[in-house]
Amino acid sequence: MAKTTTDTPHGAPSSAAPAGGDAATDTDTGLWLRRFRQSAPDAPRLVCFPHAGGAATWFMPVAEAMAPRADVLAVQYPGRQDRRSEPPVDDVLVLAARITRVLTELEDRPTLFFGHSMGAVVAFEVARALAARGKRGPEHLYASGRRAPHSYRDDRVHERDDEGVLEEVRSLDGTDSRLLHDDEVVRMVLPAIRADYRAVETYRCPPGEPLECPVTVLTGDDDPKTTIEEAEAWREWTTGGFRMEVFRGGHFYLTEHQAGVLRIVGEGLDGLDRAS
């Protein structure tokens, strides 16, 4: 999991699509999902959900490491990279609903969800939405770098001026800070970053049943966005088993602990193999 900025133009190509949330756009798997490596025909699937300001390419190292044992699909949110002509979505539940419409078309194999930061709650809400539709959801949810869905803070980064938003991004060290001093890059990435922060900071978890699948939480021991207690509160959102792994590091601990994170996810894949 490498540091990448939101709009550097190296994402996988896809066809142009109209802005908005029409049905045709929202069932276009090629628009929403990126496959960077091919997998074995019967390999289980790992769907990865990026953090605020992130893009599908952030998970390219995961695809490289997991191929061919897993079909790694990374979600590409609107408003970045090859989708930068579309308006970003500034509501977690709206974003989750749109992704759900795509994933209902992909029930051909067992699937794991992995989400980091904002991606963790998006993945959670997609899992809930699939269950509500009676569709096949994830066999396991990996929630990284994010407090439990019902745990709120009065964060208002999305209300800051441009420099204030960029200062927050730099402080978390998830994006190459050199790129954020390039005016052209900043103009491209800032709308999506601000919209993502608005989405996650205004998110309020609707009441509902916990997930039936197991939940594994991964967090850094020095994450300014998530305390150990806030991370452990994910326990309340599953009836299928709970596990928490704490790594040394901050919000983007996983850039330094990629091998450990992949080992844990790999154990989930092994579990699917044993169950099949």
Catalytic residue among 14, 15, 85, 117: 117
Q: At 106, give phi and psi (nearest 5°).
A: -120, 75
Residue from 150, 142, 118, 125 nearest 225 by CA: 118
DSSP one-letter string for 57-100: GGGHHHHHHHTTTSEEEEE--TTSGGGTTSPPP--HHHHHHHHH
For 8, residues 6+ apart whose C-beta sits below 8 A from its C-beta are 57, 81, 179, 185
What per-residue string of b and e applies to 203-212 under the rule 16 or more CB within 10 Å gives b?
bebeeeeebe
| Alpha helix stretches (DSSP H) within the chain | 23-26, 29-32, 60-66, 92-103, 118-132, 162-172, 183-202, 228-232, 258-275
d(CA 4, CA 10): 10
Half-sphere exposure of 188 (CA within 13 A, CB side): 20
85 in active site: no
Catalytic positions, written as ranges: 117
